[in-house]
Chain A
Amino acid sequence: MPFLKLVPDDTNIGFVRLRHIAFILTALLTVASIAAVGLRGLNLGVDFVGGLMLEAKFTAPPPLEAVRTNVDSLGVGQTTLQQFGDPKSVSIRLPLPASTDEGATNKVVAKVSESLKRAYPGVTFPRYDTVSGKVSDELIRNGLLAVVLAVLGMAVFSWFRYEWQFGVSTAVAVVHDVLMALGFFAITRMEFDLNIVAAILTIIGYSINDKMVIDDRIRENMRKYRQMDMKALIDLSVNETLPRTVMTSVTIMLALGALLLFGGHVLRGFTSAMMLGIIVGTYSSVYVSSSLLISLGLEPQKFDKKDVSKAAGAERMGPRS
């Protein structure tokens, strides 16, 4: 039985030759992403700005303007409405009531839900979240810290395990992936909440995973072919690992596709961020991080010398002193 092969045997694609084009494209996309985040900003959810979020599920796609007028007329503050996953669900965001009374937020929820129920019979309110400003500041801080630590941790790991060039190229590629994901959220205006931070961290994890596999192969080939030109060596390594890169991306995409189609609307933002991340991560593994190694001046001879003198420590994990 012939097996399904997404990538033919013995490919020999000149990835390294394309690196200048790839760098330009990457730079453009990155700048566009940063610009999008800077100009449009992220549509931060209550997790990060504080406030009250009420999810309303209507029986039919509701007229957003009428719903907004309805909620605005209640005097509970500036309303932000947004379609949420499927067209019948709307997230209603409100500022926190000024009153320090314990039940104040629940009163606002009751007020809004009663008013909407009168206007749109059958509407249900499956969930609501209230986050105070103090907590949301902390969530932002922890989220940022987590992302920065993850990128740094990875870079340091790769540096200790291989050469500093690997650490830098991995970090650059991962930062690129994160920026792409942020740009995606800035452009689509999808709500950016805690779950999305988890998605971004997962993208980081996956992307590093991908780069590790290629880096590992580069290192292996550096030892095997000591005289080979670095460009040819990287091309060889990327080509050798290409079937695996594609196969794994496809299996994960299959799993994520199932989640996107059947996993319910709450996870939709999360899943789409992840799918984008897999594509971007795969691209950056092949084009950005590997090719960057050449620009950073990684040489097999240099690696070789160091490897021989520190042969005992080379296989072990941990810093080479």
Chain B
Amino acid sequence: MLDFPRWKVLSIVIALAIGVLLSIPSLIPESIAARLGLGGMPRINLGLDLSGGSHLMLEADTVDLAKNNVVRMEEQVRAEMRRGDTKIAIGDISTTGGRLSFFVRDGAQVDAAVERLRTLTQPAGMTGQRDWNVAVVDSTRIVLTPTETGLKAATNSAMDVATEVVRKRIDELGTKEPTIIRQGADRIIVQVPGLQDPSALKALLGKTAKLEFKLVDQSASAEQVSSGRAPVGSEILPYPDNPGGFPAIAVKRRIIIAGDELIDAKQGFDSQTNEPIVNITFNSEGGRKFARVTQENAGKPFAMILDGKVISAPNINEPILGGQARISGRFTVESANELAIALRSGKLPVALKVVEERTVGPEMGADSIKAGTMAAAIAVLAVVVFMCAAYGRFGVYANFAVIINVFVIVGVMALLNATLTLPGIAGFVLTIGAAVDANVLINERMREEYRRGRTPIQAVELGYKEASRTIFEANVTHAIVGLIMFVLGSGQIKGFAIVLLIGIATSVFTAVVFTRMLVAHWLRKARPTTLNV
């Protein structure tokens, strides 16, 4: 065991040197690292509790999601039944209870209708289940129920889109290095370093930004509007800023044009009133559609609907041909800008709610780093002095190992792009204390063996051999705990667990392999006849 071939020595030294080198960019300020040409090297990320900033956890409103899912199906079913030479007439469509049900007017067409519906459902999940169950009730009524796997798949794709939309919106805000990650089935974590007041961000992310233009149903009477009973083909929508008084309005169900057909949205000012507005541009197809509808309905009012609420209902004074429109309403510059960003980045497929919010001020983060670094330095110093006093030469070897270990942990964290949090610093300090445990085990064992009358070389050899088994066991159990923390823990605990896990791995290497190399070298050189340990 004391035989260290040159290749082994070399690979140990190289491995540790790489670890130490990787730690350098994280230990010096970013600007200096850039000047030294190390700007591209991986650095440790600082958690928000150290860098200061805002952490938000957003959760999808699954009820809303299920509702949207059924509504989308309804649209598809309507389109499918109208398609082709033989149209299938359907009626009494209901989307209550999370199910879509309708009846087929001609009983003879039920089978054909079911056949067409088959094309609308897709296999979902591994079990070969489809995303919707199609059932015929009372021989003429068809009921479509989403399956569990179907809902899961819908949630999954909605969350993928939502994450992208959230990313776009945050990028539009021009914040520095935001982190946006999907978590679990229906959550998104947003972390914005440096952000102190997240209320604007929350307002922006809280908007689904579903924009629709619909014609106002002028045939509806005031009673109908106030009682909420719309004429056939129309619906009553809230209109909080209605200059006409009552905070609701009847609009036609048919959508003239929707936000999906936007290619741009910008905040601007009304040339006459100088009020803030949002200028929008449709794509060419949307522009053509808008032009046709405005030509046909000149002089009539249409409603601009955002997230189910009417924000304004201006008259179509003249056909709008250029594919450009403007959204007016009671905007401030900020709210108009916010809406423009939300529209540009697309609508969220599902409403998101903030379920957790943590904000840390920048001074506090800086203080924590300072305190943490100080504590780590003092911990290293105390342990180093203690180990020297307790084990002399072998303590010095152990100290070499501990100090190198500190750098290697930083290096590995940088390489893995891991995040250092405040509990992570605690984990770091604890690792320093625990890392020497391996050396304590080895050295105590050597002492024991030497006192039993073994020669120095035998004592060293047995010390490493016997202690290695114990070290392995102790560290495996420790790693199990670390792994459990990493899997089950939320942000802060994860930060602690990652340092612990990396520390366990690197400390076994430095404390056992590296010190053994140093000890072996000394034994070969000095050929001691007594062991002073």
Contact = CB atoms under 8 A, between A and B. Distances in A.
A149 B371 contact: no
B372 A244 contact: no
Contacts of A29: none
B227 interface: no
B266 to A, nearest CB: 24
A103 B202 contact: yes
A198 interface: yes
Interface stretch (A17-25, A61-69, A138-146, A177-185): A138-146
B27 interface: no
Interface in B425-469: 425-427, 429-430, 432-434, 436-437, 440-441, 444, 447-448, 451, 466, 469
A129 B357 contact: yes
Given A145-B488, A146-B489, A255-B429, A106 B199 contact: yes
Nearest to A145: B488
Contacts of A202: 427, 430, 481, 496, 500
Interface string A104-121: 011100000000000000
B354 interface: yes
A213 B469 CA distance: 10
A204 B481 contact: yes
B361 A127 contact: yes
B41 interface: no
A132 interface: yes
A292 to B, nearest CB: 18
Interface in A248-304: 248, 250-259, 261-264, 266-267, 270-271, 274
A98 interface: no
Given A102-B206, A105-B357, A216-B470, A206 B434 contact: yes
Interface in A126-161: 126-132, 134-135, 139, 142-143, 145-146, 149-150, 153-154, 157-158, 161
B469 to A, nearest CB: 7
B485 A198 contact: yes
Interface residues of B, number: 80
A266 B477 contact: no
Grouping DSSP codes into helix (H, G, I), strand (E, B) and loop, the A interface class, with mixed when no group exceeds half, is helix
A212 B357 CA distance: 41
A227 B474 CA distance: 28
B367 interface: yes
A142 B426 contact: no
Contacts of B364: 126-127
- From B436, B440, B469, B500, residue with most partner A Cβ within 10 Å: B440
A131 B356 contact: yes
A225 to B, nearest CB: 14
B346 interface: no
B441 A244 contact: yes
Contacts of A271: 426
A102 B358 contact: no
Given A126-B361, A251-B386, A259 B477 contact: no
Contact of B368 (A198, A248, A266): A266
Contacts of A124: 361, 363
Nearest to B483: A153
Contacts of B360: 126-127
B394 to A, nearest CB: 9
Interface stretch (A3-11, A35-43, A70-78, A306-314): A3-11
B355 interface: yes
Interface in B170-221: 197-199, 202-203, 205-206
Contact of A134 (B355, B474, B488): B355
Contacts of A105: 357
A158 B480 CA distance: 12
Interface string B341-374: 0000000000001111111110110011001101
B425 A198 contact: no
Contacts of B425: 263, 267
30 contacts: A4-B390, A9-B447, A102-B205, A124-B361, A126-B361, A128-B357, A129-B359, A132-B354, A132-B356, A135-B57, A135-B355, A195-B422, A195-B423, A195-B493, A198-B493, A205-B482, A206-B478, A208-B474, A209-B478, A251-B433, A252-B433, A256-B430, A258-B382, A261-B378, A263-B374, A263-B425, A266-B422, A267-B371, A270-B423, A274-B426
Interface of A: 1, 3-6, 9-10, 100, 102-103, 105-107, 124-132, 134-135, 139, 142-143, 145-146, 149-150, 153-154, 157-158, 161, 194-195, 197-198, 201-202, 204-206, 208-209, 212-213, 216-217, 220, 240-241, 243-244, 247-248, 250-259, 261-264, 266-267, 270-271, 274, 317
Given A3-B392, A204-B481, 7 more contacts: A132-B354, A150-B481, A154-B480, A206-B434, A212-B477, A251-B440, A266-B422
Interface pairs A-B: 4 shortest CB-CB: A255-B433, A264-B371, A126-B364, A252-B433
